[in-house]
Amino acid sequence: MNMDERIEGLIKMFENVPYHNFMGIKYSDCSEGYGELKLPIRKELLNSNGMLHGGFYYTLCDLGASTALEATLSEGYYYVTNDINVAVMSSVNQGTVTVKSDVLKSGKRLAFVESRVYNENDELLAVGRVTKTRLARKK
């Protein structure tokens, strides 16, 4: 399986997760060590102040990190999040947000990823630092 086929399979797998479907996440770019997702904002995602709920920033940073890492994995392995820190710097209540994630370092067991969330004007809304642990799938 070549890299394009693998990435296409990963995107289909992610898009079939019910939570991702509820959010409305769209996968716009994925390559080895990079992931980009888009989230159109709708009223169901807003908090009581009418802004995108903070939990969605967390989810976007986490899923962006996963997307950036998935293409780097050897067959038979997967990543789980063991630490995440998300700093929300600004809020948004309409349009589409984009998360761009880059693998900073990936070792035998741990991977470190930075995810950045932007609004439609390319203004930075949030930054996530994500640590993931690589595990072997049980047969």
Three-state DSSP at 110 gives strand
Q: Which is nearest to 127 in space by CA: 114, 108, 110? A: 114
Residues 6+ apart with CB under 8 A from 74: none
At 42 the pLDDT is 96
Q: What is the CATH number of domain 3-136?
A: 3.10.129.10
How many helices (H) and strands (E) are present in the chain, helices listed first?
3, 6
Place of tokens 């939990």: 55
Segments of the chain with pLDDT less than 70: 1-3, 6
